[in-house]
DNA sequence: ATATTTAACTAACACTTGTTAGTTTCATTG
DNA sequence: CAATGAAACTAACAAGTGTTAGTTAAATAT
Protein backbone atom coordinates (compact mmCIF):
# COMPACT_ATOMS: atom_id res chain seq x y z
CA UNK A 1 0.00 0.00 0.00
CA UNK A 2 1.56 3.25 -1.14
CA UNK A 3 -0.75 5.65 0.69
CA UNK A 4 -2.14 5.59 4.18
CA UNK A 5 -5.51 7.05 3.28
CA UNK A 6 -7.51 7.74 0.16
CA UNK A 7 -7.47 11.42 1.03
CA UNK A 8 -3.68 11.45 0.95
CA UNK A 9 -3.81 9.83 -2.44
CA UNK A 10 -6.15 12.53 -3.74
CA UNK A 11 -3.87 15.23 -2.40
CA UNK A 12 -0.80 13.61 -3.92
CA UNK A 13 -2.48 13.27 -7.30
CA UNK A 14 -3.71 16.86 -7.16
CA UNK A 15 -0.26 18.09 -6.22
CA UNK A 16 1.23 16.64 -9.38
CA UNK A 17 -1.50 18.11 -11.57
CA UNK A 18 -1.31 21.50 -9.83
CA UNK A 19 2.39 21.67 -10.55
CA UNK A 20 1.91 20.90 -14.23
CA UNK A 21 -0.98 23.26 -14.94
CA UNK A 22 -1.65 25.35 -11.83
CA UNK A 23 -4.56 25.19 -9.40
CA UNK A 24 -7.07 27.10 -11.53
CA UNK A 25 -6.47 25.08 -14.67
CA UNK A 26 -7.01 21.72 -12.96
CA UNK A 27 -10.62 20.57 -12.55
CA UNK A 28 -12.09 18.11 -10.10
CA UNK A 29 -12.81 15.91 -13.11
CA UNK A 30 -9.12 16.01 -14.04
CA UNK A 31 -8.13 14.87 -10.57
CA UNK A 32 -10.74 12.13 -10.57
CA UNK A 33 -9.73 10.92 -14.01
CA UNK A 34 -6.11 10.66 -12.93
CA UNK A 35 -7.27 8.36 -10.14
CA UNK A 36 -9.62 6.35 -12.31
CA UNK A 37 -12.80 7.45 -10.52
CA UNK A 38 -15.58 10.01 -11.01
CA UNK A 39 -15.39 13.58 -9.72
CA UNK A 40 -18.27 13.16 -7.30
CA UNK A 41 -16.47 10.29 -5.59
CA UNK A 42 -13.72 12.62 -4.47
CA UNK A 43 -16.18 14.21 -2.08
CA UNK A 44 -16.33 11.05 -0.01
CA UNK A 45 -12.83 11.96 1.12
CA UNK A 46 -12.39 15.71 0.84
CA UNK A 47 -14.69 18.67 1.43
CA UNK A 48 -13.71 20.94 -1.42
CA UNK A 49 -11.11 21.74 -4.04
CA UNK A 50 -10.05 24.59 -1.81
CA UNK A 51 -9.30 22.16 1.00
CA UNK A 52 -6.89 20.24 -1.23
CA UNK A 53 -4.98 23.41 -1.98
CA UNK A 54 -4.71 24.55 1.62
CA UNK A 55 -3.69 21.08 2.79
CA UNK A 56 -0.81 21.19 0.32
CA UNK A 57 0.33 24.71 1.03
CA UNK A 58 -0.18 25.24 4.74
CA UNK A 59 1.68 22.13 5.89
CA UNK A 60 4.71 23.16 3.84
CA UNK A 61 4.62 26.77 4.96
CA UNK A 62 4.41 25.68 8.58
CA UNK A 63 7.48 23.48 8.18
CA UNK A 64 9.49 26.38 6.80
CA UNK A 65 8.45 28.89 9.40
CA UNK A 66 8.92 26.53 12.30
CA UNK A 67 12.32 25.26 11.18
CA UNK A 68 13.49 28.77 10.39
CA UNK A 69 12.76 29.78 13.96
CA UNK A 70 14.89 26.89 15.22
CA UNK A 71 17.77 27.96 12.99
CA UNK A 72 17.49 31.62 13.97
CA UNK A 73 17.52 30.79 17.69
CA UNK A 74 20.45 28.38 17.51
CA UNK A 75 23.84 29.66 18.61
CA UNK A 76 25.91 29.12 15.52
CA UNK A 77 27.50 31.89 13.51
CA UNK A 78 25.43 33.55 10.82
CA UNK A 79 27.21 31.92 7.88
CA UNK A 80 26.40 28.51 9.31
CA UNK A 81 22.81 29.59 9.83
CA UNK A 82 22.61 30.50 6.16
CA UNK A 83 24.00 27.10 5.25
CA UNK A 84 21.31 25.51 7.38
CA UNK A 85 18.64 27.54 5.58
CA UNK A 86 19.95 26.19 2.28
CA UNK A 87 19.83 22.67 3.70
CA UNK A 88 16.28 23.27 4.95
CA UNK A 89 15.07 24.29 1.52
CA UNK A 90 16.82 21.42 -0.23
CA UNK A 91 15.40 19.00 2.31
CA UNK A 92 11.77 20.11 2.17
CA UNK A 93 11.84 20.60 -1.58
CA UNK A 94 13.37 17.23 -2.37
CA UNK A 95 10.71 15.58 -0.21
CA UNK A 96 7.86 17.62 -1.74
CA UNK A 97 8.97 18.57 -5.24
CA UNK A 98 5.40 18.99 -6.50
CA UNK A 99 3.83 20.67 -3.51
CA UNK A 100 6.43 23.41 -3.61
CA UNK A 101 5.01 24.52 -6.93
CA UNK A 102 1.65 25.25 -5.31
CA UNK A 103 3.32 27.01 -2.42
CA UNK A 104 5.13 29.27 -4.85
CA UNK A 105 2.52 29.80 -7.54
CA UNK A 106 -0.95 29.19 -6.15
CA UNK A 107 -0.92 30.63 -2.64
CA UNK A 108 -3.01 33.57 -3.87
CA UNK A 109 -5.89 31.19 -4.52
CA UNK A 110 -6.16 30.32 -0.86
CA UNK A 111 -9.39 31.57 0.65
CA UNK A 112 -9.88 30.97 4.37
CA UNK A 113 -6.20 30.33 4.99
CA UNK A 114 -4.75 33.17 2.95
CA UNK A 115 -4.16 35.47 5.87
CA UNK A 116 -2.57 32.72 7.92
CA UNK A 117 -0.29 31.81 5.03
CA UNK A 118 0.81 35.43 4.64
CA UNK A 119 1.65 35.61 8.33
CA UNK A 120 3.75 32.44 8.10
CA UNK A 121 5.62 33.82 5.12
CA UNK A 122 6.19 37.18 6.78
CA UNK A 123 7.58 35.53 9.91
CA UNK A 124 9.89 33.42 7.80
CA UNK A 125 11.21 36.37 5.83
CA UNK A 126 11.69 38.46 8.95
CA UNK A 127 13.84 35.78 10.52
CA UNK A 128 15.84 35.53 7.31
CA UNK A 129 16.40 39.26 7.33
CA UNK A 130 17.55 39.23 10.93
CA UNK A 131 20.17 36.58 10.19
CA UNK A 132 21.52 38.47 7.17
CA UNK A 133 21.68 41.77 9.03
CA UNK A 134 23.38 40.24 12.04
CA UNK A 135 25.84 38.64 9.66
CA UNK A 136 26.71 42.07 8.26
CA UNK A 137 26.87 43.58 11.72
CA UNK A 138 29.19 40.83 12.97
CA UNK A 139 31.41 41.31 9.88
CA UNK A 140 30.77 37.79 8.62
CA UNK A 141 29.11 39.13 5.46
CA UNK A 142 30.19 41.94 3.15
CA UNK A 143 28.73 45.37 3.87
CA UNK A 144 26.21 45.50 1.05
CA UNK A 145 22.52 45.87 0.33
CA UNK A 146 20.91 43.32 2.64
CA UNK A 147 17.64 43.39 0.74
CA UNK A 148 19.40 42.38 -2.45
CA UNK A 149 21.12 39.55 -0.61
CA UNK A 150 17.85 38.22 0.79
CA UNK A 151 16.14 38.57 -2.55
CA UNK A 152 18.89 36.73 -4.36
CA UNK A 153 19.18 33.83 -1.93
CA UNK A 154 15.46 33.41 -1.48
CA UNK A 155 14.76 33.50 -5.21
CA UNK A 156 17.18 30.68 -5.79
CA UNK A 157 15.92 28.61 -2.88
CA UNK A 158 12.29 29.09 -3.94
CA UNK A 159 13.11 27.87 -7.44
CA UNK A 160 14.55 24.57 -6.27
CA UNK A 161 11.25 22.86 -7.00
CA UNK A 162 11.72 23.46 -10.72
CA UNK A 163 15.20 22.15 -10.74
CA UNK A 164 15.54 19.32 -8.22
CA UNK A 165 13.07 16.90 -9.85
CA UNK A 166 15.05 17.06 -13.10
CA UNK A 167 18.10 15.61 -11.36
CA UNK A 168 17.78 11.88 -10.89
CA UNK A 169 19.94 10.15 -8.26
CA UNK A 170 21.34 13.44 -7.01
CA UNK A 171 23.63 13.40 -4.01
CA UNK A 172 21.61 15.71 -1.78
CA UNK A 173 24.43 16.34 0.67
CA UNK A 174 26.87 17.23 -2.07
CA UNK A 175 24.39 19.42 -3.87
CA UNK A 176 23.57 21.32 -0.68
CA UNK A 177 27.24 22.10 -0.22
CA UNK A 178 27.71 23.21 -3.82
CA UNK A 179 24.69 25.45 -3.66
CA UNK A 180 25.77 27.00 -0.36
CA UNK A 181 29.13 27.71 -1.88
CA UNK A 182 27.70 29.47 -4.91
CA UNK A 183 25.18 31.46 -2.87
CA UNK A 184 27.59 32.54 -0.19
CA UNK A 185 30.94 32.79 -1.97
CA UNK A 186 29.75 33.59 -5.48
CA UNK A 187 31.31 32.31 -8.66
CA UNK A 188 34.13 34.78 -9.15
CA UNK A 189 37.62 33.38 -8.97
CA UNK B 1 -3.59 59.26 -24.98
CA UNK B 2 -1.80 56.62 -22.94
CA UNK B 3 -2.11 53.75 -25.43
CA UNK B 4 -1.60 53.67 -29.16
CA UNK B 5 -4.35 51.17 -29.88
CA UNK B 6 -7.26 49.67 -28.01
CA UNK B 7 -5.68 46.25 -28.46
CA UNK B 8 -2.60 47.38 -26.58
CA UNK B 9 -4.82 48.62 -23.80
CA UNK B 10 -6.53 45.23 -23.55
CA UNK B 11 -3.17 43.49 -23.42
CA UNK B 12 -1.88 45.85 -20.77
CA UNK B 13 -4.98 45.37 -18.64
CA UNK B 14 -4.81 41.60 -19.06
CA UNK B 15 -1.14 41.59 -18.14
CA UNK B 16 -1.87 43.16 -14.77
CA UNK B 17 -4.70 40.73 -14.03
CA UNK B 18 -2.65 37.74 -15.19
CA UNK B 19 0.10 38.68 -12.79
CA UNK B 20 -2.30 38.94 -9.85
CA UNK B 21 -4.28 35.76 -10.43
CA UNK B 22 -2.69 33.82 -13.28
CA UNK B 23 -4.00 33.27 -16.81
CA UNK B 24 -6.48 30.51 -16.00
CA UNK B 25 -8.11 32.36 -13.12
CA UNK B 26 -8.77 35.51 -15.16
CA UNK B 27 -11.90 35.52 -17.32
CA UNK B 28 -12.70 37.60 -20.35
CA UNK B 29 -15.41 39.22 -18.24
CA UNK B 30 -12.79 40.19 -15.66
CA UNK B 31 -10.68 41.85 -18.32
CA UNK B 32 -13.68 43.63 -19.81
CA UNK B 33 -14.88 44.83 -16.41
CA UNK B 34 -11.44 46.27 -15.64
CA UNK B 35 -11.78 48.31 -18.82
CA UNK B 36 -15.38 49.33 -18.22
CA UNK B 37 -16.80 47.44 -21.20
CA UNK B 38 -18.52 44.10 -21.88
CA UNK B 39 -16.64 40.89 -22.64
CA UNK B 40 -18.01 40.59 -26.16
CA UNK B 41 -16.60 44.01 -27.02
CA UNK B 42 -13.07 42.74 -26.52
CA UNK B 43 -13.46 40.67 -29.65
CA UNK B 44 -13.58 43.79 -31.79
CA UNK B 45 -9.87 44.10 -31.05
CA UNK B 46 -8.49 40.65 -30.29
CA UNK B 47 -9.19 37.20 -31.64
CA UNK B 48 -9.04 35.09 -28.49
CA UNK B 49 -7.89 34.93 -24.90
CA UNK B 50 -5.06 32.76 -26.12
CA UNK B 51 -3.88 35.52 -28.44
CA UNK B 52 -3.56 37.90 -25.49
CA UNK B 53 -1.34 35.43 -23.67
CA UNK B 54 0.94 34.73 -26.58
CA UNK B 55 1.24 38.44 -27.42
CA UNK B 56 2.48 39.02 -23.88
CA UNK B 57 4.85 36.09 -23.67
CA UNK B 58 6.37 35.75 -27.12
CA UNK B 59 7.47 39.35 -27.49
CA UNK B 60 9.30 39.16 -24.18
CA UNK B 61 10.87 35.80 -24.90
CA UNK B 62 12.11 37.08 -28.26
CA UNK B 63 13.76 40.06 -26.62
CA UNK B 64 15.65 37.84 -24.22
CA UNK B 65 16.83 35.35 -26.79
CA UNK B 66 17.86 37.96 -29.30
CA UNK B 67 19.73 40.12 -26.80
CA UNK B 68 21.42 37.10 -25.28
CA UNK B 69 22.83 36.24 -28.67
CA UNK B 70 24.28 39.73 -28.97
CA UNK B 71 25.92 39.42 -25.56
CA UNK B 72 27.29 35.96 -26.27
CA UNK B 73 28.84 37.06 -29.56
CA UNK B 74 30.41 40.24 -28.19
CA UNK B 75 34.12 40.16 -27.45
CA UNK B 76 34.17 41.05 -23.80
CA UNK B 77 35.38 38.76 -21.05
CA UNK B 78 32.91 36.34 -19.55
CA UNK B 79 32.46 38.19 -16.26
CA UNK B 80 31.42 41.28 -18.18
CA UNK B 81 29.06 39.19 -20.26
CA UNK B 82 27.43 37.96 -17.08
CA UNK B 83 27.07 41.55 -15.89
CA UNK B 84 25.39 42.38 -19.16
CA UNK B 85 22.96 39.49 -18.70
CA UNK B 86 22.04 40.90 -15.29
CA UNK B 87 21.52 44.31 -16.90
CA UNK B 88 19.39 42.75 -19.63
CA UNK B 89 17.07 41.12 -17.11
CA UNK B 90 16.78 44.24 -14.98
CA UNK B 91 16.08 46.30 -18.08
CA UNK B 92 13.38 44.10 -19.60
CA UNK B 93 11.80 43.36 -16.24
CA UNK B 94 11.63 46.97 -15.11
CA UNK B 95 9.97 47.86 -18.39
CA UNK B 96 7.53 44.92 -18.24
CA UNK B 97 7.05 44.07 -14.57
CA UNK B 98 3.66 42.49 -15.14
CA UNK B 99 4.30 40.63 -18.36
CA UNK B 100 7.25 38.84 -16.81
CA UNK B 101 4.83 37.07 -14.48
CA UNK B 102 3.08 35.47 -17.45
CA UNK B 103 6.39 34.56 -19.04
CA UNK B 104 7.41 32.79 -15.85
CA UNK B 105 4.15 31.26 -14.70
CA UNK B 106 1.77 30.87 -17.63
CA UNK B 107 3.92 29.80 -20.56
CA UNK B 108 2.52 26.26 -20.24
CA UNK B 109 -0.89 27.55 -21.25
CA UNK B 110 0.36 28.60 -24.65
CA UNK B 111 -1.19 26.53 -27.40
CA UNK B 112 0.00 27.26 -30.94
CA UNK B 113 3.12 29.07 -29.80
CA UNK B 114 4.23 26.66 -27.07
CA UNK B 115 6.83 24.90 -29.17
CA UNK B 116 8.24 28.18 -30.43
CA UNK B 117 8.47 29.50 -26.88
CA UNK B 118 10.31 26.39 -25.73
CA UNK B 119 12.83 26.80 -28.54
CA UNK B 120 13.44 30.42 -27.62
CA UNK B 121 14.00 29.45 -23.99
CA UNK B 122 16.30 26.60 -24.89
CA UNK B 123 18.41 28.83 -27.11
CA UNK B 124 18.64 31.38 -24.34
CA UNK B 125 19.71 28.84 -21.75
CA UNK B 126 22.24 27.25 -24.07
CA UNK B 127 23.94 30.59 -24.64
CA UNK B 128 23.96 31.20 -20.89
CA UNK B 129 25.60 27.83 -20.34
CA UNK B 130 28.26 28.52 -22.95
CA UNK B 131 29.24 31.78 -21.26
CA UNK B 132 29.48 30.17 -17.83
CA UNK B 133 31.53 27.25 -19.11
CA UNK B 134 33.89 29.47 -21.06
CA UNK B 135 34.27 31.54 -17.91
CA UNK B 136 35.40 28.48 -16.02
CA UNK B 137 37.66 27.37 -18.85
CA UNK B 138 39.29 30.80 -19.04
CA UNK B 139 39.80 30.78 -15.26
CA UNK B 140 37.57 33.80 -14.73
CA UNK B 141 35.12 31.78 -12.66
CA UNK B 142 35.75 29.25 -9.89
CA UNK B 143 35.99 25.64 -10.93
CA UNK B 144 32.59 24.48 -9.66
CA UNK B 145 29.36 22.92 -10.76
CA UNK B 146 28.34 25.02 -13.76
CA UNK B 147 24.76 23.78 -13.64
CA UNK B 148 24.37 25.01 -10.10
CA UNK B 149 25.78 28.38 -11.13
CA UNK B 150 23.35 28.74 -14.01
CA UNK B 151 20.45 27.61 -11.87
CA UNK B 152 21.28 30.06 -9.13
CA UNK B 153 21.78 33.09 -11.35
CA UNK B 154 18.80 32.37 -13.56
CA UNK B 155 16.48 31.76 -10.62
CA UNK B 156 17.30 35.13 -9.19
CA UNK B 157 17.02 36.94 -12.50
CA UNK B 158 13.69 35.28 -13.26
CA UNK B 159 12.31 36.39 -9.91
CA UNK B 160 13.01 40.05 -10.52
CA UNK B 161 9.43 40.60 -11.61
CA UNK B 162 8.24 39.87 -8.07
CA UNK B 163 10.67 42.20 -6.51
CA UNK B 164 11.27 45.18 -8.76
CA UNK B 165 7.71 46.57 -8.73
CA UNK B 166 7.83 46.79 -4.92
CA UNK B 167 10.72 49.25 -5.10
CA UNK B 168 9.51 52.71 -5.95
CA UNK B 169 11.99 55.23 -7.40
CA UNK B 170 14.76 52.65 -7.54
CA UNK B 171 18.07 53.66 -9.09
CA UNK B 172 18.20 51.00 -11.80
CA UNK B 173 21.87 51.50 -12.56
CA UNK B 174 22.86 51.20 -8.92
CA UNK B 175 20.63 48.19 -8.35
CA UNK B 176 22.08 46.40 -11.37
CA UNK B 177 25.55 46.85 -9.95
CA UNK B 178 24.58 45.65 -6.49
CA UNK B 179 22.87 42.60 -7.88
CA UNK B 180 25.80 41.74 -10.14
CA UNK B 181 28.08 41.99 -7.14
CA UNK B 182 25.99 39.62 -5.04
CA UNK B 183 25.51 37.12 -7.85
CA UNK B 184 29.13 37.08 -8.98
CA UNK B 185 31.11 37.74 -5.79
CA UNK B 186 28.70 36.32 -3.23
CA UNK B 187 28.06 37.74 0.19
CA UNK B 188 30.92 36.25 2.18
CA UNK B 189 33.42 38.69 3.59
C1' DA C 1 -26.50 -13.72 9.28
C1' DT C 2 -27.32 -9.07 9.92
C1' DA C 3 -26.03 -4.38 10.36
C1' DT C 4 -22.81 -0.88 9.45
C1' DT C 5 -19.32 1.46 7.06
C1' DT C 6 -16.62 2.64 3.05
C1' DA C 7 -16.21 4.19 -1.35
C1' DA C 8 -17.71 4.02 -5.56
C1' DC C 9 -21.60 5.31 -8.82
C1' DT C 10 -25.42 8.19 -11.77
C1' DA C 11 -27.86 12.27 -12.29
C1' DA C 12 -28.44 16.69 -11.74
C1' DC C 13 -27.98 21.58 -9.95
C1' DA C 14 -26.87 26.41 -10.67
C1' DC C 15 -23.40 29.01 -12.40
C1' DT C 16 -19.45 30.35 -15.21
C1' DT C 17 -16.64 29.85 -19.28
C1' DG C 18 -14.95 31.63 -24.09
C1' DT C 19 -16.98 32.97 -28.00
C1' DT C 20 -20.37 34.30 -31.92
C1' DA C 21 -24.15 36.84 -34.15
C1' DG C 22 -26.53 40.64 -34.94
C1' DT C 23 -27.50 45.44 -33.69
C1' DT C 24 -26.76 50.25 -32.24
C1' DT C 25 -24.22 54.47 -31.57
C1' DC C 26 -21.49 57.96 -33.16
C1' DA C 27 -17.42 60.31 -35.03
C1' DT C 28 -15.01 60.75 -39.36
C1' DT C 29 -14.82 60.93 -44.31
C1' DG C 30 -16.33 61.54 -49.20
C1' DC D 1 -25.70 65.07 -46.15
C1' DA D 2 -24.91 60.41 -46.86
C1' DA D 3 -21.81 56.70 -46.24
C1' DT D 4 -18.31 54.34 -43.78
C1' DG D 5 -16.02 52.26 -40.06
C1' DA D 6 -14.82 51.76 -35.33
C1' DA D 7 -16.26 50.18 -31.09
C1' DA D 8 -19.56 49.55 -28.09
C1' DC D 9 -23.90 46.90 -26.97
C1' DT D 10 -27.56 42.74 -25.94
C1' DA D 11 -28.56 38.04 -26.30
C1' DA D 12 -27.37 33.71 -26.67
C1' DC D 13 -24.65 29.31 -27.46
C1' DA D 14 -22.48 24.96 -26.06
C1' DA D 15 -19.38 23.27 -23.02
C1' DG D 16 -17.45 23.03 -18.66
C1' DT D 17 -17.34 24.30 -13.50
C1' DG D 18 -17.60 22.76 -8.34
C1' DT D 19 -20.69 20.52 -5.76
C1' DT D 20 -24.94 17.93 -3.80
C1' DA D 21 -28.32 14.16 -3.44
C1' DG D 22 -29.46 9.77 -3.54
C1' DT D 23 -28.16 5.01 -4.69
C1' DT D 24 -25.46 0.70 -4.99
C1' DA D 25 -22.01 -2.74 -4.14
C1' DA D 26 -18.65 -4.74 -1.49
C1' DA D 27 -15.96 -5.20 2.72
C1' DT D 28 -16.01 -5.21 7.74
C1' DA D 29 -17.89 -5.57 12.39
C1' DT D 30 -21.44 -7.25 15.54
- What tens digit of pLDDT does each residue of A95-116 get? 999 999 999 999 999 999 999 9
Q: Please indicate whether, in this complex, the C-beta atoms of A159 and B163 are within 8 angstroms of each other.
A: no
Predicted confidence at residue A2, as pLDDT, reads 55
- Nearest Cα to Cα of residue A150 among B174, B182, B148, B169: B182
CATH number of B49-185: 1.10.357.10
The rounded distance, in Å, linking the Cα atoms of A110 and A20 is 18
Shortest CA gap A62–chain B (Å): 22
Predicted confidence at residue A132, as pLDDT, reads 98
Domain spans, chain B: 49-185
The rounded distance, in Å, linking the Cα atoms of A187 and A169 is 25
- Residues A106, B139 contacting (CB under 8 angstroms): no
Q: What is the pLDDT of residues B117-171, one digit of tens each?
A: 999 999 999 999 999 999 999 999 999 999 999 999 999 999 999 999 888 889 9
Q: Which residues contact B131 (CB under 8 A, 6 or more apart)?
A: B71, B72, B78, B81, B82, B85
* Residue A121 DSSP one-character state: H
The rounded distance, in Å, linking the Cα atoms of B101 and B98 is 6
* Residue A107 DSSP one-character state: G
Q: How far is the CA of B150 from the C1' of D18 (A)?
A: 42
Mutation site for A-interface testing, chosen from B143, B152, B160, B184 by largest number of A Cβ within 10 Å: B152
Q: Which of A142, A178, A187 sits opposite B187 (nearest CB)?
A: A142
Q: Please indicate whether, in this complex, the C-beta atoms of B159 and A141 are within 8 angstroms of each other.
A: no
**Cα distances (angstroms) measured from residue A175 to each of A26, A137, A154, B3, B171:** 33, 29, 17, 48, 35
Phi-psi region of A160 (alpha: psi -120 to 50; beta: other; left: phi over 0): alpha
- Residues B54, B71 contacting (CB under 8 angstroms): no
B44 touches strand D (CB under 7 A): yes
* A112: helix, strand or coil: coil
Nucleotide nearest to A32 (CA to C1'): C8
Closest Cα in chain B to A105: B105
Closest Cα in chain B to A80: B188
- Nearest Cα to Cα of residue B153 among B175, B170, B128, B133: B128
Q: Which residues contact B12 (CB under 8 A, 6 or more apart)?
A: B3, B98
CATH number of A48-185: 1.10.357.10
C-alpha angle with apex A181: A177 to A182, nearest 5 degrees? Answer: 120
* Strand ranges inside chain A, DSSP E: none
Give the model's confidence band at A28: pLDDT under 50 very low, under 70 low, under 90 confident, else very high.
very high
Q: What is the pLDDT of residues B161-189, one digit of tens each?
A: 999 988 888 999 999 999 999 999 999 98
Predicted confidence at residue A166, as pLDDT, reads 86
Nucleotide nearest to B45 (CA to C1'): D7
The rounded distance, in Å, linking the Cα atoms of A149 and B181 is 10
Shortest CA gap B90–chain A (Å): 13
Q: How far is the CA of B6 from the C1' of D2 (A)?
A: 28
With a cut of 70, say whether residue B1 has pLDDT above it.
no
In degrees and rounded to multiples of 5, residue B141 shows phi and psi of -110, 155
* Residue A5 DSSP one-character state: S
A152 touches strand D (CB under 7 A): no
Closest Cα in chain B to A185: B186
Q: Please indicate whether, in this complex, the C-beta atoms of B144 and A109 are within 8 angstroms of each other.
A: no
Q: Please indicate whether, in this complex, the C-beta atoms of B159 and A151 are within 8 angstroms of each other.
A: yes
B78-95 and B114-137 helices cross at what angle (nearest 10)? Answer: 150
B109 touches strand D (CB under 7 A): no
Predicted confidence at residue B167, as pLDDT, reads 85
Predicted confidence at residue B2, as pLDDT, reads 55
Q: How far is the CA of B60 from the C1' of C29 (A)?
A: 38
Which residues in chain A are contacts of B139 at CB distance < 8 A?
Answer: 189
A29 touches strand C (CB under 7 A): no
- Residues A45, A84 contacting (CB under 8 angstroms): no
Predicted confidence at residue B4, as pLDDT, reads 76
Which residues in chain A are contacts of B109 at CB distance < 8 A?
Answer: 21, 25
In degrees and rounded to multiples of 5, residue A188 shows phi and psi of -75, 140
* DSSP symbols for B109-175: G-STTHHHHHHHHHHHHHHHHHHHHHHHHTTSB-SS-HHHHHHHHHHHHHTHHHHGGGSTT--HHHH
Amino acid sequence: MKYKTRKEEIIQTSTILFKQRGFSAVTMRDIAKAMGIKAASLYNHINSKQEILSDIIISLAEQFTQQMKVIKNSNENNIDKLKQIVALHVDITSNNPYGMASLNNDWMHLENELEYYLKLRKDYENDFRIIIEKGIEDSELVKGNSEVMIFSMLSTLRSLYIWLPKKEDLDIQKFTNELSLVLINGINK
